[in-house]
A and B are shown apart, each in its own frame.
Chain A
Amino acid sequence: MKKAISVTVNGVVHHQDVEPRLLLVHLLRDVLNLTGTHIGCETSICGACTVIIDGQAVKSCTILAVQADGASVTTIEGLGTEANLHPVQEGFWEHHGLQCGYCTPGMIMAGAQLLDRISSPTADQIRHGLEGNLCRCTGYQNIVEAIQYAASKAK
């Protein structure tokens, strides 16, 4: 039986009737057409699907859409604008924090949450903070530098 839910995504309230088994990532991508959130491994490993729900960065492939009923979700589309990038987005630009870009939305969402918790993280804290996000291109070095850039920019 479908459930009526109301989810705020990037500041916009959406009312939807969803099957309980619908995963949040599918609500975002297939129903709301917000395809910035990527699906990678589908097994809670890679972090490509990371979004922020009520301030917590989580893997949207491992949460049911019904669990987000009443919650506020931020996806990569809602983090910054093209004219006014979020500091972490700017850091990825300035420090070449991506190659293929597949992991990037998740990396940036996890990076933004990391800076919310630790405003001036060490390289070690950044690496541990991004343990839930896999990148197969960059070797992570530029991603760490991108987050460091964002931390210094935010000061």
Chain B
Amino acid sequence: MIPRSFEYSAPGTLDEAVALLQKLGSDAKILSGGQSLIPMMKLRLASPPHIVDINRIPGLDYITEKDGFLRIGALVRESDLERSELVRSRFPILVDTTSVIADPLVRNQATVCGNLAHGDPANDHPATMLALGAIVVAVGPRGERDVPVENFFPALFTTALEADEILREIKIPIPPPSTGGAYLKLERKVGDYATAGVAVQITLNNSGACTAAAGIGLTNVGFTPIKAVKAEAFVKGKQLDQAAVKQASEIAAGESHPVDDIRGPADYKRDLVRVLTARAIVRALERVKGGV
């Protein structure tokens, strides 16, 4: 399988890349890790006339903590995230997420930012970024702008990025103490997309109740990644005992919109959201208390 012919550019700076995008418009497609794009081009599901390869742009492979945010640059590979000491110690939920994406060989090449920019509701990072309240930094000819990730996925395979914008960075607020998070995914086999996946991030106050910062995101149970806002509102201010966890998970399941497909019937997936939400809340609580 060979892609259709295309023109290829590998700009050396972000400015050059943006100028190219501005000139080429919707003819251009950005190549970062390429682990979704190249298979789609080989299968001729996508045939972009012009590939703009951003891999030659220096200085985009950083994972740093700065000004209250964990910042992940456009060329950070999944395997970089998985092996980052900063991420492993502070954001176990990101390790949960990256380690269930595809396989180690794909993760050596695939980028975290690409996982969002692709706009696929079956990708895993979107749910986690929703739970974490992440912000996407887009750069274009009009400069930079911040897009809260909850506004980043307006429709199926569609993102808030304009045709001449590049996702330069994901920034994740550094959570306060007494915060824990977890991502759980059921897949039929290694490398498969999620049958369903759930990301949960919670922060407890001094009396052990859930603060307003709670985040719950759902993978592959709708046309876009889903922020389970009703379940988030429900847990706010509550002591997360068994009854509350059960109720929150039922609310989250009600917010999913799965369809019947090869991974199972909609009812099954909805129930899976319930089960995974409950388990993810429990694991997040364990991590608040210092568990792994």
Contact = CB atoms under 8 A, between A and B. Distances in A.
Interface stretch (B84-92, B99-107, B118-126, B264-272): B99-107
Given A20-B51, A63-B38, A132-B191, A56 B103 contact: no
Given A47-B105, A132-B102, A20 B39 contact: no
A63 B8 contact: no
B105 A59 contact: yes
Contact of A66 (B53, B79, B109): B53
Contacts of A63: 34, 38, 109
B5 interface: yes
Nearest to A129: B104
Interface string A20-57: 11010010000000000000001111010010000011
Contact of A44 (B8, B35, B79, B190): B35
B157 to A, nearest CB: 19
Contact of B2 (A23, A50, A56, A132): A23
Contacts of A132: 102-106, 191
Given A20-B6, A45-B191, A64 B38 contact: yes
A19 interface: yes
A20 B7 contact: yes
Given A57-B108, A67-B34, A21 B5 contact: yes
B105 A110 contact: yes
B148 interface: no
A63 B55 CA distance: 12
A131 B38 contact: no
A58 B108 contact: yes
Contacts of B5: 19-21
B7 A21 contact: no
A62 interface: yes
Given A20-B51, A63-B38, A67-B55, A58 B109 contact: yes
B10 interface: yes
A12 interface: no
A66 B34 contact: no
Given A43-B39, A58-B109, A63-B109, A110 B34 contact: no
A133 B103 CA distance: 9
B289 interface: no
B42 interface: yes
Nearest to B9: A20
A117 B107 CA distance: 14
Contact of B105 (A57, A64, A69, A117): A57
Most buried by A among B5, B7, B10, B105: B105
A20 B38 CA distance: 12
B108 A44 contact: no
Nearest to A106: B105
A42 B42 contact: yes
A6 to B, nearest CB: 14
B262 interface: no
A128 B31 CA distance: 27
Nearest to A114: B104
Interface string A58-101: 11011110110100000000000000000000000000000000
Interface of B: 1-8, 10, 31, 34-35, 38-39, 41-43, 51, 53, 55, 77, 79, 83, 102-106, 108-109, 190-191
Q: Nearest 4 CB-CB pairs, A to B? A: A132-B103, A20-B8, A132-B105, A131-B103
13 contacts: A1-B7, A20-B7, A42-B42, A44-B102, A59-B105, A59-B106, A59-B109, A62-B109, A63-B34, A64-B51, A67-B34, A110-B104, A131-B190
